[in-house]
Amino acid sequence: MSISRRHFMVGTALTTSALAIPTFLRAADKPKVVVIGGGAGGATAARYIAKDSKGAIDVTLIEPQQAFTTCFFSNLYIGGFRTFESITHDYRTLEGTHGIKVVHQMATGVDKAAKTVTLADGSSVPYDKLIVSPGISLKWDSFPGYTKDASEVMPHAWQAGPQTQLLKSKVDGMKEGGTFVMVAPPNPYRCPPGPYERVSMIAHVFKQKNPKAKIIVLDPKEKFSKQGLFQAGWEQHYPGMVEWIPASIHGGIKSVDVATGEIKTDLDTFKSDAANIIPAQAAGEIAATAGLTNDTGFCPIVPGSMQSQADPNVYVLGDSTIAGDMPKSGYSANSQAKVCANAVRGELTGSKVFPAKFSNTCWSLIATNDGVKVGASYEAKPDKITSTGGFVSKTGEDAALRKATFEESVGWYAGIANDIFGA
């Protein structure tokens, strides 16, 4: 058998020089993975598949942005602890070191029968396996009056980039002694502690530059992640500055008016001098277009592999998924991406598939050197990804531990940024 194969190769090598490359290495014959979305989930999956398959799989990453600003640590940017550049990453290492083809376009459709992805310019890209990690879409109808245009005045800053810069400028430039209003998002949303870390960072700015300013949080929920820790931190570092009002007290957001700065609730009308409105969320639009979502607006997946329940050749990661007990976080998306990469490689090249393990930790900064964290580990049960145990920082921890927790988060950021975008 090996002899006839050798003869075959020699023969073809004589006819065309292109075929001198052993057949199994030719790009046209390699299995193809296409990844939609170059964020925490998508870029990690692309990188791990390319890195671990050592060139045996052809990986294309579709992402409209030239550079990706992480939502994680974007609150620290607002608080003045990080520069915008330090939270922005390009795709050069993924292209250069890992040989991933990065296409800077929007994916506009998926033909699951033909196994192709359509791009904004009308071209299409074929795949054997498709990975979809488009993050979230914002539901513009969730607070009456809050539209995409309105977000240019009252930013959401829940997708990082110019929105984050706009929010920072609103915070820095708010009139002296003014009122800042945040409308927090209803469940489920990306980064459960995110709004409250943001409140802390805005309070940190006000404490230095605008000490008479007030922050009002209008929350559609009754409780929130790490609530005790945040509220104790606000009392300690920013006494009297932050007022958190749950739905049972304000009765619901009735309307948002960017022209007057007014936010109406059942209880009262709140007049803001600057505001941050974070609307309800659903899976990234392309996930719905591709028919991967169910009536929750998110994508059901197979817990052990992140395979879409709608199509065995498609995998979904990160914020767009219904990931059981896992929160929507960058850490989760990165963790899921590795499980998915292992499964996809196994399918395409027969590499060993190891059992899924997931974990998550979310660090939050409350004030200078006052870091807290919450985390858990998970396993894939047949019906859903299930928590197997976790931890959370405690109120009253000493300053040294809080500082160590903050320093740990800085290390985590450096680590995960390298893990997603390559070092």
Partner 1 sequence: MICSRRNALIFSCVLIAFGLPAGFSTDAHSQTTQASEALSEQHKLLVTRGTEVFQRCTACHRIGPDAENRIGPHLNNLIGRTAGSIAGARYSDAMKKAGQDGLKWDANTLDAFVADPTSFIEDTTMGLDGVEDAEDRKALIAYLSAFATGSSNIPETPAARGLPSADPGIPAEILAIKGDPEYGEYLSSECLTCHQSSGSNRGIPGIVGWPVEDFVVVMHAYKSRKRDNPVMQMMASQLGNDEIAALAAYFQQKGQ
Ligand X SMILES: Cc1cc2nc3c(=O)[nH]c(=O)nc-3n(C[C@H](O)[C@H](O)[C@H](O)COP(=O)(O)OP(=O)(O)OC[C@H]3O[C@@H](n4cnc5c(N)ncnc54)[C@H](O)[C@@H]3O)c2cc1C
Partner in contact with 315, chosen from partner 1, ligand X, none, beta carbon below 5 to 8 Å by kind: none
Angle at 45 between CA 42 and CA 50, to 5 degrees: 125
* Binding piece for partner 1, criterion CB under 8 A, among 59-67, 98-106, 312-320, 372-380: 372-380
Q: Which of positions 318-347 make contact with ligand X (CB under 6 A)?
A: 318-320, 328-331, 333
* Binding piece for ligand X, criterion CB under 6 A, among 58-66, 199-207, 379-387, 389-397: 58-66
Partner in contact with 232, chosen from ligand X, partner 1, none, beta carbon below 5 to 8 Å by kind: none
- Closer residue to ligand X in complex, CB, 18/414: 414
Identity at 20, one-letter amino acid code? A
Measured from the CB of residue 37, what is the shortest distance to partner 1 in angstroms? 19
- Determine if 141 is a binding residue for partner 1 (CB under 8 A): no
Residue nearest to ligand X (CB): 39
- Determine if 362 is a binding residue for ligand X (CB under 6 A): yes
- Give the Cα separation of 180 and 215 in Å (integer): 5
Q: Which of positions 330-359 make contact with partner 1 (CB under 8 A)?
A: 331, 334-335, 338, 342, 352, 354, 357, 359
Query: What number of other Cβ atoms are within 10 A of residue 95's Cβ?
Result: 14
Instruction: Give the total residue count for the chain.
Output: 423
* Binding piece for partner 1, criterion CB under 8 A, among 198-206, 222-230, 231-239, 412-420: 412-420
**How does DSSP assign 50-93, residue by residue?**
HHHHTTSSEEEEE-S-SEEE-STTHHHHHTTSS-SGGGEEESHH
**How does DSSP assign 5-37, residue by residue?**
HHHHHHHHHHH-GGGGS-GGG-GGGS-EEEEE-
C-alpha closest to that of 319 among 305, 331, 307, 304: 331
Partner in contact with 42, chosen from partner 1, ligand X, none, beta carbon below 5 to 8 Å by kind: ligand X
The 3-state secondary structure of 292-318, one letter per residue: CCCCCCCEEEECCCCEECCCCCEEECH
- Give the Cα separation of 306 and 112 in Å (integer): 17
DSSP letter assigned to residue 152: G
- Determine if 160 is a binding residue for partner 1 (CB under 8 A): no
Identity at 70, one-letter amino acid code? T
Contact residue for ligand X among 58, 63, 257, 370 (CB under 6 A): 63
- Give the Cα separation of 1 and 22 in Å (integer): 16
Which residues of this chain interact with ligand X, rule CB under 6 A? 36-42, 62-65, 68, 71-72, 74-75, 106-107, 133-135, 158, 190-191, 194, 198, 284, 286, 317-320, 328-331, 333, 362-363
Which residues of this chain interact with partner 1, rule CB under 8 A? 48, 331, 334-335, 338, 342, 352, 354, 357, 359, 361, 373, 375-377, 388-391, 400, 404, 407-416, 418-419, 423
